[in-house]
Chain A
Amino acid sequence: MAGNGLAKKVRDTQVWKSIFRHGPPDNARNRAAVIAGNVFLHLHPIKLKKSGVQLGYTWCMGGLTFFIFLALTVTGLLLMFYYRPTAEYAFNDIIALREHVPLGIMREIHRWGAHAMVITVWIHMFRVFMTGSYKPPREFNWGIGVILLVLTLLLSFTGYLLPWDQLAIWAITVGSNMAKATPFAGHGGPGAMLARIGDFVMVSDKNDVRFQLLGGRFVGEPALLRFYILHCVFIPLVVGVLIAVHFWRVRKDGGISAPL
């Protein structure tokens, strides 16, 4: 790739050289530099075992999960421009998104992408299990992965409420009703009646875990706001931090697994 005419001219400009601080990656030195010198690409090792790049071994599901997470972040951000998390506006904003926004497939990509992410996480875990990749030295990273799985489901679950239609509030009602059966911490769970002093009930539907989750005794406007903030800010932040830990540990634990 010595370059022909125009391409070489572009590559020789000061602008190009200021961005890419090395020549084209066609020799060993530059192939190392292109990975090590780029903040995004340096998530990768410079070299890795051949089995680790084979699709038949990795299935690429972890990488796709991360990509879909990024795609959801971008589409979600765009959706936030059009959406207000109040009982008065939420549903109408979704209608407006559908009726008035040109080329509007952002909500579709966001929704189907969310489902796809749940699927890719599961298949990724399935692959990691089948290759025994959770075994030492990767035990801790498997645990991080399990927590990321739970957070993925919670992200999807909290987002499910936001359209504020019948599908949304009743799915969340069914789901969050489980919380009231939490032993000792939910008012309908075992042990809750033990937590009373005389007539004073300590765990009731006005203070149990479901109330904390929903900000009320049923799925109403406070729940919409809570789920909106959990969905758009809190859980993505935690997921972002844990993804960083997950990737860091993949590298520190010896890269993509291979026979010892």
Chain B
Amino acid sequence: MLKELINKIADPLYSFPITTFLFYLMMRYYRIFGSKKFGKWALILSVPVIIWFLADPNFILIILFPDNVPIAILLVMVAFFTWFSLHKAAENDVRIEQGLGPIEATPENREKVWSWPNLVYTELFAIIACTAFLVVWAIIFKAPLEEPANPTWAPNPAKAPWYFLGLQEMLVYFDPWMAGVVLPGLVVAGLIAIPYIDTNPKGNGYYCFQDRKWAIISFLYGWLVLWVYLIIVGVFFRGPNWTFYGPFEYWSLYKIVPEYNINLSEYLWIKGLGVAMPKNLILRESLGIILTILYVGVIPVWAQKATKMGRQFYKDLGSIRYYIFMFLFVTMMSLPIKMVLRWLFSLKYIVALPEWELNL
């Protein structure tokens, strides 16, 4: 029963809104999330849950799939360090409110210490621990090796290496030129641009949340929800033909999920106006093109003129930084928006120009 429920809600249709909502709760109540008590109970409660998951024959099959062990390690580390950084941030925020300043700025912590032995021994222990960990891991788990390469027979599902599975999952919602080239390119460009966009002088060199709330929220949303969560979906919940499978479901080749996705232009001309699709490509896709231009070009201007937060950002950042930030932000948000449109309206492409390989 419970397993069936989990199988059902793991579907991105449900699990994405749930994850986003949990992320909202985590940011809204970061002090509760970052408390020692929460961390302790989350750890205590997660152990039986993990054991219960691992006891399932179908789930263990997915976990033991070649190269899936690192993702389990990644998840544990991401969960721990997310809690830990918010824990440190919450502690510092309390100190800053009391006028004490962050813990890193106390005279005691500003004091200089010798690299030898303070730093070099820490490094030595870290290296030994890391080596031991790798050796044990290498002895327990053999490196995967499948049948020799056969260009004429593709495995199903054919998956990219796990760290690219967030991108492969994006292929459900975007064409390769967006999911595989433009969006990853903008992720890299956007990451490099962060220090030039974020001009807030506070929060440099110490953990905090209140001093740089929006920077942390937008970064963590991209990192935890749009990157790590999508990797989880791509690794654990996508089976043959990239069909959705719950964590306790067997990856049967015969599961077929019918999909009827409709382009915006078909909605407009055939369903809405009840006429044939125009021959002229630009006319045919005009609504989608206009909406895209409005989304990318007008929303930033509107936000700056009409919203309090937009005005504040514009004042703080100046026009160039503001528009670059908004461009990157609306591009990032195009992914969740496209997902929601897909689930609500079975919308395939907003602009569908397969004639030019230009589908959006």
Contacts and interface: CB of A to CB of B under 8 A. Distances in A.
B312 interface: no
Interface string A134-164: 1110110011001101100100110010011
Given A31-B114, A51-B109, A67-B130, A189 B181 contact: yes
A183 B353 CA distance: 14
Nearest to A259: B105
Contacts of B158: 170-171, 173-174
Contact of A166 (B77, B147, B177): B147
A192 B123 CA distance: 51
Contacts of B73: 115-116, 119
B135 interface: yes
Contact of B113 (A25, A50, A118, A165): A50
Contact of A174 (B85, B113, B120, B168): B168
B101 A259 contact: yes
Given A115-B70, A181-B181, A190-B357, A50 B122 contact: no
Interface string B338-360: 00000000000000010011100
A46 B110 contact: no
Contacts of A136: 195, 201, 204
A242 interface: no
A133 B145 contact: no
A45 B146 contact: no
Interface string B13-29: 00000000000000000
Nearest to B224: A126
A59 interface: yes
Interface residues of B, number: 96
Interface stretch (B148-156, B251-259, B266-274): B148-156
Chain B's interface: helix, strand, loop or mixed, by majority? helix
Interface residues of A, number: 101
Contacts of A9: none
A53 interface: yes
Given A112-B70, A220-B151, 15 more contacts: A48-B119, A49-B110, A91-B148, A105-B138, A108-B142, A129-B219, A132-B206, A132-B208, A149-B191, A170-B159, A175-B164, A178-B181, A181-B177, A181-B180, A182-B181
Interface of A: 25, 28, 31, 34-35, 41, 44-57, 59-60, 63-64, 67-68, 71, 87, 91, 94-95, 98, 105, 107-113, 115-116, 118-119, 122-123, 126-127, 129-136, 138-139, 142-143, 146-147, 149-150, 153, 156-157, 160, 163-171, 173-175, 177-183, 186, 188-193, 218-220, 257-260
7 contacts: A46-B114, A71-B131, A111-B144, A116-B130, A135-B205, A146-B188, A181-B357
